[in-house]
Amino acid sequence: MYYMTRELCFKHIEPEVNSKTMVAILPEEGENDHHSLVLQIRALLRLEWHVQIQHVYRKANACVD
pLDDT per position as a tens digit, 23-63: 888 877 776 666 888 888 888 888 878 888 888 886 655 65
Please answer whether residues 55 and 16 qualify as being in contact, where contact means their C-beta atoms are separated by less than 8 angstroms: yes
Between residues 63 and 20, which one has the greater pLDDT?
20
Q: Return phi, psi of residue 7, to 5°.
A: -65, -35
For the chain, give every domain's residue range. 2-60
User: What average pLDDT does the segment 5-24 reach?
Assistant: 80
